[in-house]
Every structure is written in structure tokens, then in C-alpha cells.
Amino acid sequence: MMARTRGKKTWAFVGGKVEAGESDADCLIREIREETGCDLDPTSIKLLGSFAAPAHGHENTTVQLRLYTGNFKGQPKPSSEIEELGWFDSAGNPQLHTPLTNDHVFPWLKQHGLIR
């Protein structure tokens, strides 16, 4: 699942920055709740991989992404600054996604049989 922030054209994975004293799982649970209105089953959270690439629109900045999977409790709906949520695979429009997604994450997910 990916999100499009209000006023932006590109899509990115739901999530955000880890706050001081917060674990990755705590951050993921907080961000999912803020951006989708759903809770996550904490026992279902699993790290899939770590990726790095130039930040979209800021090529002199590197963005680090730790990609997780987990099970929602409830039906995700756009919340907070999120205008739209969507499910994507590698056949989507590459202009809609960040370089990190197109060049690293989607190929990895496809190679590991997690998307088509």
C-alpha cells in the first residue's frame, strides 16, 4: 500500500521518520494509525529489507527506507495529510512513484514474489 500526500503527484510508502526513543515498530504503528486510521497487529510486523536512494526532488540527499509488512486491524482510509491510498505492483506508472520505489523496492518485491 502506498499513499499520496495532499497536493503532491507522487506516491510513497505509508510511514515516516522514527522519533526519539521510538523503535521501528512503534514508528510504524504510529504512522499507520495517523495516515490510515488503522491499527497494526504488532505480532505481524516483519522487516522485508532496507533500501537507499536519492530523495525524490532532492538528488543531493539520500533517503533510507526500512520496508516492513504487517496486518491491518480495520479498513485503511486516508487520514491526516494523506489524500489518497492505493495498492500498486511493478506494472504501475513509474512517473507516479519515487526513484527509490521504482529502482529498488518494486524490483526487489517482484524478485521475491511479493508483487507481480
**Is 43 a member of any domain?**
yes
Q: What is the pLDDT of residue 47?
A: 97
Over the stretch 85-100, which tens digit does the pLDDT of each residue have? 999 888 877 777 778 8
**Is 116 a member of any domain?**
no
Number of domains in the chain: 1
Domain interval for residue 10: 2-111
What's the pTM value of the predicted model, to 2 decimals?
Answer: 0.84
Q: pLDDT below 70 — which residues of the chain? A: none
**The domain that contains 86 carries what CATH number?**
3.90.79.10
Q: What is the pLDDT of residue 110?
A: 93
Distance CA 26, CA 83 (A): 23
**Is 45 a member of any domain?**
yes
Give residues with Cβ within 8 angstroms of 58, minimum separation 6: none
**Is 64 a member of any domain?**
yes
**Is 17 a member of any domain?**
yes
Q: What is the pLDDT of residue 35?
A: 94
**Is 46 a member of any domain?**
yes
Q: What is the pLDDT of residue 73?
A: 94
Q: What is the pLDDT of residue 89?
A: 84
In this structure, is the dihedral angle defined by the CA atoms of residues 50, 57, 17 and 74, taken in order, positive or negative? negative
